């Protein structure tokens, strides 16, 4: 099979040489990330249930989860949640197959409780959350293209990926990951973290928001001391990724003189005024990168069999990483894959590879290797699906 893969030279300055770069990551406790995590965990639970019962994954998409913030009264030493969060688990799924009814809503609620318990260590799932499952049945035409021998694309849509990550992208991603690791040393760190990175020339600044947990901070001085220690550690941690100058600030809206600071009961802003929705957070590689091409498709919760909004975003990211690592002479590689609804997912309408070569490198020497790698990923979409089933690929 000869796939429609096109390789071209991209005539642009590599991102590391551009003057301004912006990068964002929403941590796993941010309301949008929680919504993403819920949607994906429910999809994976349904995949496993379908496989156990019928030996095949049936049609579903659970990518419309919504979080409505509750109300809380945080206080140094420990406050309380006054009104619980409301979470609506919604989407579409196969509820009856071969005359057997599948307990879709029960599966969804169980998966949601597990995800919330794992993602938000200070949230009382039994008392701080109202879970409501309203998952309907998918349309018959989409179930039809789902069930063909080679699954057909559910939509005319595209996915994008790029590699390698810039220094700023690595720092932003790993700063949030390091803060999660630091929770053992600093239990006041809540999982609701947002890291905004700005590089201006050779200076990188991090603006960090962290929902501090009130019961682990006894007073204002302890709060400010803890915040200072966290920032100092994160600046030192970031230096392993760059020789550029690093500065950082955390919870910059704090008004210390007035005693108004960012503390929470549960470690997430969803307890008070911050709603969440699938697709409003990180892209498939865990970052929000306005300097790079991005798809607005929500990756989380979409089925891993024929939903190109999920498959092509993840596949293009994995393929780009492999191309950047294995094809010598590339500064940057960008992949864009477009489907046509009803067409086999392994035969995209177009698969574009755009390469920024290193100085002095002939494009012809790069084309064959890049094409071979992307073609191999398209020919082995079941490999990507298995990685998703096993939880080996992060989708946010």
Give tens-digit pLDDT for 153-185: 999 999 999 999 999 999 999 999 999 999 999
* Domain boundaries, given as residue ranges, for the chain: 16-25+165-277
Residue 316 in this model has a pLDDT that exceeds 70: yes
The model carries a pTM of: 0.94
The token pair at 170 is 């690595």
Residues with Cβ within 8 Å of 368's Cβ and at least 6 positions away in sequence, in order, are: none
Three-class SS of residue 177? Answer: helix
User: CA 214, CA 237: separation in Å to the nearest integer?
Assistant: 25
Burial 313-342 (b: 16+ CB within 10 A, else e): bbbbbbbbbbbbeebeebbbbbbbbbbbee
Instruction: Give the architecture (CATH level 2) of 16-25+165-277.
Output: 2-Layer Sandwich (3.30)
pLDDT value for 328:
96
pLDDT, tens digit, 9 for 90 and up, residues 326-371: 999 999 999 999 999 999 999 999 999 999 999 999 999 999 999 9
Q: Given a cut of 60, is residue 140 above it in pLDDT?
A: no
| pLDDT one-digit tens code per residue, 265-312 | 999 999 998 999 999 999 999 999 999 999 999 999 999 999 999 999
């Amino acid at each position: 099979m000869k796939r429609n893969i096109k390789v071209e030279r991209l005539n642009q300055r590599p991102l590391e040489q551009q003057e301004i770069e912006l990068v964002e990551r929403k941590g796993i406790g941010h309301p949008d990330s929680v919504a993403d995590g819920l949607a994906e965990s429910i999809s994976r639970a349904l995949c496993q249930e379908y496989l156990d019962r019928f030996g095949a994954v049936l049609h579903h998409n659970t990518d419309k989860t919504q979080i409505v913030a509750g109300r809380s009264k945080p206080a140094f030493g420990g406050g309380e949640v006054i009104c619980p969060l409301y979470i609506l688990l919604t989407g579409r799924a196969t509820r009856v197959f071969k005359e057997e009814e599948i307990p879709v809503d029960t599966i969804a609620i169980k998966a949601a409780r597990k995800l919330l318990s794992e993602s938000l260590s200070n949230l009382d799932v039994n008392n701080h959350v109202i879970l409501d499952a309203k998952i309907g049945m998918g349309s018959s035409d989409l179930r039809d293209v789902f069930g063909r021998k080679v699954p057909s694309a559910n939509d005319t849509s595209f996915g994008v990926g790029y590699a390698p990550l810039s220094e700023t992208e690595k720092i932003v991603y790993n700063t949030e990951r390091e803060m999660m690791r630091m929770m053992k040393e600093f239990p006041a760190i809540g999982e609701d973290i947002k890291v905004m990175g700005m590089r201006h020339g050779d200076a990188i600044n991090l603006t960090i928001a962290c929902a501090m947990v009130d019961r682990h901070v006894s007073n204002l001085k302890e709060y400010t001391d803890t915040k200072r220690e966290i920032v100092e550690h994160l600046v030192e941690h970031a230096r392993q990724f760059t020789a550029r100058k690093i500065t950082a600030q955390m919870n910059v809206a704090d008004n210390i003189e007035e005693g108004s600071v960012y503390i929470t009961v549960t470690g997430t802003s969803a307890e008070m005024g911050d709603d969440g929705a699938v697709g409003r957070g990180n892209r498939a590689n865990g970052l929000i990168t306005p300097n790079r091409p991005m798809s607005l498709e929500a990756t989380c919760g979409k089925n891993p069999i024929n939903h190109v909004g999920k498959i092509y975003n993840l596949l293009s990211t994995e393929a780009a990483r492999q191309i950047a690592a294995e094809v010598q002479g590339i500064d940057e590689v960008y992949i864009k894959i477009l489907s046509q609804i009803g067409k086999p997912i392994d035969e995209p309408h177009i698969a574009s590879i755009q390469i920024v070569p290193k100085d002095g490198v002939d494009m012809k020497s790069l084309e064959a290797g890049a094409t071979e790698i992307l073609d191999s990923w398209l020919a082995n979409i079941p490999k990507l699906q298995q990685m998703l089933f096993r939880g080996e690929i992060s989708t946010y």
